Every structure is written in structure tokens, then in C-alpha cells.
Amino acid sequence: MDNKPVIFFLSLLLLAALIVALYQSKANPFTQGKAPVAVSDAQNPAVNPHQADPAIELYTTNCARCHGGFGEGKGTNPSLQKNGLGVEQIIHIITNGRGSMPSFIRFSPAELQKLAELVQRF
Ligand code: HEC
């Protein structure tokens, strides 16, 4: 009796199983070392530890264009990092403006508090 076709068929099955196993394996060379999907720095919790804080949104929309995404400063606008200002002082600057910085009157007291605390943590 000729077993060749049976052996050929079994080899094919084995090969298919190997391919599936390789594909599903964590060691799959096709997915290893894949670059993470690009997200903007402000949304990336690995880069921006304040990401979970709603104040980050207020900061990003209202302040980042002048003071930079991390309060690092931009152009002639000063850095907000480690400036030693207290929450009250920061709230005063936000609501009254200073020099070429505009005043912001639309924030609620709670929002001002959160924003000032965020600026303090930069
Ligand atoms: C149009 C650009 C601009 C925007 C928008 C802006 N700032 Fe400023 N900010 C400045 C400038 C310029 C100064 C420096 C003012 C001075 O002392 O003459 C400043 C100063 C400050 C200071 C004082 C820094 C220090 O060391 O004395 C704080 C705190 C501050 N800004 C927070 C904020 C926050 C919070 C927001 C968003 C609600 C904001 N700024 C939005 C331009 C801006």
C-alpha cells in the first residue's frame, strides 16, 4: 500500500499548525518591537503624568500656547516649572493677567484651584 499521499497530507497539516502557532505566539517576530501608536505628548500618560487630571485640558486649551505643554515656557513667555508660586498667587495671576499675559475670567473657583495646583506641580 502506498502511504505517500497520506504522509504528504499530514505534513501539510503539520506545517499549517506550525504557521498558526507561530502567528499566535507572543514571540511572533512580526509583532515584536512594534513602535507604539503615536499620540501627542499632552495625551500620552507615559510622557505627561497629569493626563488623568481634568485641569490638563484647561491648561492645554488656555495656557500651553504660551507656556508650552509642560509649562516649560515658549519664546519670551516664562517657564512655569518650579517657580515657587503659591496657589493663591497663581490664581491671582490667572484672573488678573500680568504684563502681556491676558486675564482669564471664565474659570470657576474650582477650576482655578485645579489649574493652579497643576501649575504648581510642573
Ligand atoms: C498670551 C500668552 C499667555 C497665555 C495664554 C498665558 N500666559 Fe501666563 N504668562 C505670560 C507672560 C508673558 C507672563 C509673564 C508676565 C510678566 O511677568 O510680565 C506670564 C506669567 C505667568 C505666570 C507667572 C510666572 C512667574 O514665574 O512669575 C503664571 C503662574 C502664569 N503665567 C500662568 C498661566 C496660566 C495658568 C495660563 C492659562 C490659564 C496662562 N498663564 C496663560 C503669557 C501667557
Mutate to test the pocket of ligand 1, among 58, 66, 95, 104 (most ligand atoms within 8 A of CB): 66
pLDDT (mean) for 85-106:
96
Angle made by CA atoms 74, 60, 34, in degrees to the nearest 5: 95
Say yes or no to pLDDT of 32 above 70: no
Q: What is the pLDDT of residue 16?
A: 80
CATH placement of domain 41-121 = 1.10.760.10
Q: What's the mean pLDDT in 20-40?
A: 57
Q: Which residues line ligand 1 (CB under 6 A)?
A: 62-63, 65-67, 77-78, 80, 83, 85, 90, 93-94, 98-102, 104, 115, 119
Q: Is the pTM of this model over 0.85?
A: no
Ligand 1 atom 24, closest CA: 80
Separation of 77 CA from ligand 1 center, angstroms? 7
Residue ranges covered by each domain of the chain: 1-33, 41-121
Segment among 21-25, 28-32, 80-84, 103-107 with least mean pLDDT: 28-32
- Which of ligand 1's atoms lies nearest the C-alpha of 100? 12
Binning pLDDT at 50, 70 and 90, where does residue 42 land?
Answer: low
Q: Which atom of ligand 1 is nearest to the CA of 89?
A: 29
67 CA from centroid of ligand 1 (Å): 7
Percent of the chain at pLDDT exceeding 90: 50
Give the confidence band of 75 by pLDDT, cuts at 50, 70, 90. Answer: very high
Residues 6+ apart with CB under 8 A from 70: 41, 48, 81, 122
